[in-house]
Structure 1
Amino acid sequence: MTKSAATSPLGTSHFTRVNGLQTHAWVRGDGPPLVLVPGLGCASWMYVRVSRELARERTVYVYDPPGHGFSKGRRDYPRNMEDLTDHLAEWLVECGLNCAPLFGHSLGGEVIFDLAARYPTCTSALIACAPTGIPENPSVTMQLLRLLRDLPRERLPLLLPALSAYSTSGFGLMLRLASDQSQHDTGPLLPAVQVPTLLLDGDADPVIQSWTVREIRRAIPGAVVRTVPGGTHALTDSHPKTVARYTLDFLRRVEAGQSQEPAALCEP
């Protein structure tokens, strides 16, 4: 069951019960749906700038994964990357968004790759913005050092929303997921992604190396890369107009080439 709260500058707040947990998303805009999946420890309120731009042509669902933002988690859940993927797949079905395109930022990019590989009927297209982990899988220490290098490059107005999001998720959850991410089995994952895929790479991002994005492009059949000049790791905040332009252009091309077959339910 989905319930809606009052509308705010972020959009309309929707709660859906998935796997016994209240799961939140901000919804804004009008048009075909697009689901935005945040990065590790991030929350829906960190994506105001890019969702505003995307909402000029799409109905944007800014999803909070379990234990993130306004979505409930449990002490031992989510335990790993697969839990994040499974929860997202169930949420898409509950909300009637099966086969919607997915936009994943940072760890959210890794989640949507995993979903497209394991639930091949669950999405029609992927946009991965500064996707983490694949195929490099750095250690937790290396991830932290890279994030510290990136921090001075981000906009100061993002700092407070980010700190609020990290505080909400908590150190334990973030460490557990980051540790699992460094061991995530990526061998068969990327070649199994069979939907159109756009990779967005910021050339000033110290967290995700450009060679990693190029390796992802080689591994996913037909994937394309767009580089954002001056783009930091938080591309969605530092360059929202450019990110939205690349995303919307890509989706228009994808949808112009798709047949009008009815959407299937998400199935593993």
Structure 2
Amino acid sequence: MSQGHALYLEVDGLRTHAWVRGNGPPLVIVPGLGCASWMYVRLSRELARSRTVYVYDPPGHGYSQGLRHLPDCIEQLTDHLAHWLDAAGLKGSPIFGHSLGGEVAFDLAARYPKHAGALIACAPTGIPENPSVPAQLVRLLVDLPRERLGLLIPGLRAYAHCGVRRMLKLAQDQDGHDTGPLLAHIHVPTLLVDGTSDPVIRLWTLEAIRKAIPAAYVCEIRGGTHALTDVFPRTVARYTLDFLKAVNQ
């Protein structure tokens, strides 16, 4: 299978990177907080067996340019994603969001209803009951020893690229970014995926989101941690591809 290639586009004055691999209908992966395209290699390889996968780097993440004041909030992440989809000719493509990327995907589908053909939200944030920033950091520390050792160095590299200030600003914005009212405006097919051993996003969080999107499908992965995309790439890819086939995406 081809290793893929880098795609750079100028979006809102920022040089924006995505890694592209595979053949077939498009699918866009939106990373979690502080994460980067290189952290989703295992998942993108599995999905690329039947899809053209675009692993998008948000502003200030991975290889994408950011500014000191941009992005400072989740809505800025969503706006940039929408504009990038326009620039890449991918408007209406399915969106796969991991962690904070899932929250951005919800925001996109609600505020830009024609930009997402379907949603796959993996271990998503996005409800006001999420804990405070310090509590989330504690949960991440609990989760780290459970993840694959091979993800540690790529993950630390991604966090260093993003920077502590930007990560804290975006994490703090979660307190004020209540997607609850937005979830009722999501009218595209939606799949929610979570792991039963994820200390960051608890199962009750997923249930609250499911109640707000009654037509959403739910898949739980036994023993899955927060980095489901890296530890269980084949399982996540199979659920994703089966779902997209079922909803004709």
- The aligned amino acid for 1:174 is M
- The aligned amino acid for 2:219 is R
Identity %: 67
Find out whether 1:119 has 2:112 as its counterpart: yes
- The aligned amino acid for 1:187 is G
- The aligned amino acid for 1:155 is R
Separation of aligned partners in 1, 2:34 and 2:194: 20
Match of 2:91? Answer: 98
Number of residues paired by the alignment?
249
Match 1:213 to one of 206, 215, 220: 206
Separation of aligned partners in 2, 1:79 and 1:182: 13
SS state at 2:193 partner:
strand
Find out whether 1:49 has 2:42 as its counterpart: yes
Deviation at 1:10, TM superposition (A): 4.8
SS state at 2:93 partner:
coil
Separation of aligned partners in 1, 2:223 and 2:99: 17
Find out whether 1:69 has 2:94 as its counterpart: no
2:128–2:178 contact (8 Å) kept in structure 1: no
Match of 2:32? Answer: 39
Match 2:155 to one of 145, 153, 162: 162
- RMSD, aligned CA: 1.2
Separation of aligned partners in 2, 1:80 and 1:137: 16
Match of 1:128? Answer: 121
1:10–1:45 contact (8 Å) kept in structure 2: no
Deviation at 1:214, TM superposition (A): 0.9
Match 2:195 to one of 171, 192, 202: 202
* TM, length-normalised to structure 2: 0.98
Deviation at 1:138, TM superposition (A): 1.7
SS state at 2:242 partner:
helix
* TM, length-normalised to structure 1: 0.91
- The aligned amino acid for 1:48 is V
Gaps of 5+ in 1: 1-7, 257-268
Find out whether 1:12 has 2:16 as its counterpart: no
Separation of aligned partners in 2, 1:11 and 1:45: 12
Find out whether 1:184 has 2:170 as its counterpart: no
SS state at 1:125 partner:
strand
Deviation at 1:230, TM superposition (A): 1.1
Match of 1:149? Answer: 142
Match of 1:59? Answer: 52
